[in-house]
Chains A and B, each alone.
Chain A
Amino acid sequence: MATAEAPLVHSAQQLESGTAYIPAGQGTQYFGGLLGPQHGGPFPLSNVPVMILPSDQLPNPRPSLVLFAGLRDPKLRMKQAIPLDVTVEEGHVIVNWAAIDEFGSGDALSTAINDFAYALRALYWYLAGVEELGPDLANIKLTLSQYIEAR
């Protein structure tokens, strides 16, 4: 999966707003280094809390559930949104509609959802074209009819 690796932070200090005096001729040595505490700024002291967490304790920005309604087929209309569980397997995002065991996968959530949309369109049109189905596929067709209809 294409995610940026966060740099490891061992310690951090929140600096107050203001200015710092850098002696003439020494300015370049501050670039990439630490600035000292700043003084005399026109702004009030900051009350923004800062918390540094190891990467394995960071909150997951990806939702565990998304509501899908982006079928992208002009011949079909969504009647209601489909709840998709979101998981990650071996660095790949998987979205799954447990009611019919249909899934999508991709390097990111958006590509997994696109993959799911493709699979769902293909499944809908396949089932729509078959008269006699086994009980499981008939149930899937019935479930799909509660969420999707032809225009």
Chain B
Amino acid sequence: MDAKAREIDIIFRKLHMDTRNTNEVHGVFKYDGIPVVRTRRSFGNAKYVPADKIRCQLKVNEQQFAGLISCSVSEEDYIKILMEKGIISKPKPDA
């Protein structure tokens, strides 16, 4: 498997994304059961994985994307990133 494809699979697993395999691997990140972000990567060694385009679909910058692949950005961190961008609604404060 291509190194970039492996890196995308690391992100799929770290974020516990719902994945389905067709001609490609489609991944959906859900928050409170609601799909909020989707991405995909192609199967096969010969398939090119445009990491930058996948990064855009995941709504992170290059540093955050690198952190998702390594250890520095956790699933909780990712949720905070998406909250700051308004992609996930912030939880209402307890009354």
Do they bind each other? yes
Chain A, residues 111-142, CB within 8 Å of chain B (1/0): the string is 00001001100110010001011111100000
**How many residues of B are counted as interface, with CB atoms below 8 angstroms from the partner's CB atoms?**
25
Scan residues 17-49 of chain B and give those whose CB is less than 8 A from a CB of chain A. Answer: 22-24, 26, 28, 31, 34-38, 40, 42, 47-48
A-B pairs with beta carbons under 8 A, tally: 58
- Residues of A contacting B: mostly: mixed
Sort chain A's interface into a size bin. 20 to 34
Docked-complex contact B31 and A134, CB < 8 angstroms: yes
User: What residues of B have a CB within 8 angstroms of the CB of A137 in the complex?
Assistant: 35-38
Q: Report yes or no: A103 in contact with B37, Cβ–Cβ below 8 A.
A: no
Residues of B within 8 A of A (CB): 22-24, 26, 28, 31, 34-38, 40, 42, 47-48, 50, 52-53, 56-57, 59, 86-89
Can you pick out 7 interface pairs between chain A and chain B where the beta carbons lie within 8 Å of each other?
A102-B57, A105-B48, A105-B50, A122-B22, A133-B34, A133-B36, A135-B87
